[in-house]
Amino acid sequence: MKRFYILLVGLLAIFAISIAPAVAQDPVTLTMWSRDSNQAFLRELVDMWNSSHPNQIDLTVIPAADFVTRVGVAAAGGEAPDLLPTDLIYVPSFARAGYLADITDFVAALPFADQLIPAHMFLGTYEGREYAVPFAAEGSVLLYNKGLFEQAGLDPEKPPTTWQEIHDAAVAIRALGEDTYGFYFSGNCAGCNAFTFLPYIWAQGADLLTPDGLTATVDSPEVRAALEFYQQMWNEGLIPAGAQADTGTDFLNAFTAGNIGMVGSGAFSISVLKNDFPDIDFGLTFLPGQEGGRSSFAGGDTISVTSSSKNVAAAFEFIQWVLSDEIQLSMFAARGQLPLRLDLADNEYSREDTRLITNAEAMGLGKTPYSFVYNQLYNDTTGPWLAMLQQAIFQGDIEGAVTTAQARFTEILASQ
């Protein structure tokens, strides 16, 4: 009888131990909101997670234009989702408003923590703590049409590495015909030019803001020089006249017609061009500085856990899974997306198309402005950034453009 009791207690103990972890880790359903760009890829990623993990993710896709509003309203009511992938430029504002959970310790425990895209990690840091990690990478580069380079007697394997070389190549290509132009940019698109024009300034070691994002440093010789570089190409007719009115609808379309020599663009264009415009033989190089050097705008999305989430650890498991070797290679690299880790930039897929390696490298050395008023400074079509470009390039008034922009930047920064 006594032996029976011992057996019984033993069995109960084993039973208790066996169910204990299950009790502690009841499967949870995590909510996730995302803007609608790139949603097909995201849905596939979430489906893959859901089919292989007990914790499920419930993904809601929100139109990009409504995204910040919806997040703001939900966070104010304490009803934000657990997982929040977002355009990285909003992370400083979200973190300052207290919407995001501090994930510093989780990030530190990742074996590849030091390999995560530095610009994304920089944007994810607020007052020394980390609130976001990379989720989608989009670095700006210079696209060039190899066919036109060849026709113009330029070496398609030696893309320009200085502003003078870009200018000279543009002159040579413009000479090919009435409808062939050397260069293109969307002259009425604020965001497009933050993405593709700021790197020329950064490559010079200059910037429009101090690193803490609090003081304007627009009025500098480097900024004037960069504006002059575009202004000269515009005055010489190397850029199609329609560029002045382009709100971004022609951002990549202009290049796909095959009569534009060079255009600033991003990683997304590689797959678009390869799939939809196989006739265009294009190369990809870094956005250079005046006499050399290089830079890139490290854009894309980061992902955060919100401060209202009751499942921070579970939510971070998904993030860790996304950043793992397996998913980075089999999902991201295999689909032509840039890997989110520097140590995976060189992989079996990118080796087949070295343009992807170039883009990943650009991403690695890329910068992103850290500002709580990024939207007002750079993204606003009525804002000071676009006004400066237009006044300098199309109206030829570099001096006035820079002075006005310095004043308006300072005013906006003081209002935050």
Partner 1 sequence: MGLAAFRTSSNKQGDSGAGASVGRRYVGLFFTLPAIIFTLVFFILPLGMTIFMSLHKWSLMGEHNFIGIQNYIDLLTRDSQFWNSLWFTTRYTLLITPAIFIIAFLLALLVNLPLRMIGVFRTIYFLPAVIGLGTSSLLWVWLLNDRVGAINAILKLLGLVDRPIIWLADPNYVMIAIIVSIVWKTVGFTMILLLTGMQAIPAELYESARVDGANYWEQLRYIMLPLMRRTFALALVLSVIGSYLAFDQFFIMTAGGPQNQTISVVYWIYKKSFTDFNLGYGASMSIVLLVILVVLSVIQMWLLRDDTTY
Q: Interface with partner 1 by CB under 8 A: which residues? A: 68-69, 72, 75, 93-94, 96-99, 179, 187-190, 240-242, 244-245, 247-250, 254, 257, 375-376, 379-383, 386-387, 390-391, 394
- Residue with smaller CB distance to partner 1, 162 or 390: 390
CB of 371 to partner 1, least distance (A): 13
- Residue with smaller CB distance to partner 1, 160 or 240: 240
CB of 246 to partner 1, least distance (A): 8
CB of 133 to partner 1, least distance (A): 21
CB of 181 to partner 1, least distance (A): 10
3-state secondary structure of 288: strand
3-state secondary structure of 339: coil
Tokens of 193: 């030019």
CB of 312 to partner 1, least distance (A): 21
* Separation of alpha carbons 307 and 305, rounded Å: 7
Give kind and range of the element (H or E) at residue 354.
helix 354-365
- Residue with smaller CB distance to partner 1, 283 or 383: 383
CB 257 within 8 A of CB 179: no
Tokens of 70: 């919806």
* Separation of alpha carbons 273 and 133, rounded Å: 29
Please give, one letter per residue, the 3-state secondary structure of 200-225: HHHCCCCCCECCCCCCECCCCHHHHH
- Residue with smaller CB distance to partner 1, 349 or 394: 394
- Residue with smaller CB distance to partner 1, 94 or 230: 94
CB 100 within 8 A of CB 94: yes
CB of 97 to partner 1, least distance (A): 4
- Residue with smaller CB distance to partner 1, 147 or 248: 248
Tokens of 296: 């890139």
- Residue with smaller CB distance to partner 1, 362 or 401: 401
- Residue with smaller CB distance to partner 1, 39 or 379: 379
Tokens of 112: 């590849």
- Residue with smaller CB distance to partner 1, 152 or 412: 412
- Residue with smaller CB distance to partner 1, 72 or 293: 72
CB of 370 to partner 1, least distance (A): 16
Residue owning tokens 């002159």: 171
- Residue with smaller CB distance to partner 1, 210 or 247: 247
Please give, one letter per residue, the 3-state secondary structure of 82-139: CEEEEEHHHHHHHHHCCCECCCHHHHHCCCCHHHECHHHHHHCEECCEECCEEEEEEE
Q: Comparing C-alpha atoms, which of 297, 140, 164 is closest to residue 228? A: 164
CB of 404 to partner 1, least distance (A): 11
Residues near 365 by beta carbon (within 8 Å), at least 6 away in sequence: 294, 295, 296
Q: Comparing C-alpha atoms, which of 349, 32, 194, 42 is closest to residue 339? A: 349
Q: Comparing C-alpha atoms, which of 249, 240, 231 is closest to residue 390? A: 231
* Separation of alpha carbons 138 and 337, rounded Å: 9
Residue owning tokens 């032509």: 336
CB of 18 to partner 1, least distance (A): 47
CB of 76 to partner 1, least distance (A): 8
- Rg of the chain over Cα atoms, rounded to whole angstroms, equals 25
Residue 72, CA distances (Å) to 69, 75, 98 in order: 5, 5, 11
CB of 114 to partner 1, least distance (A): 31
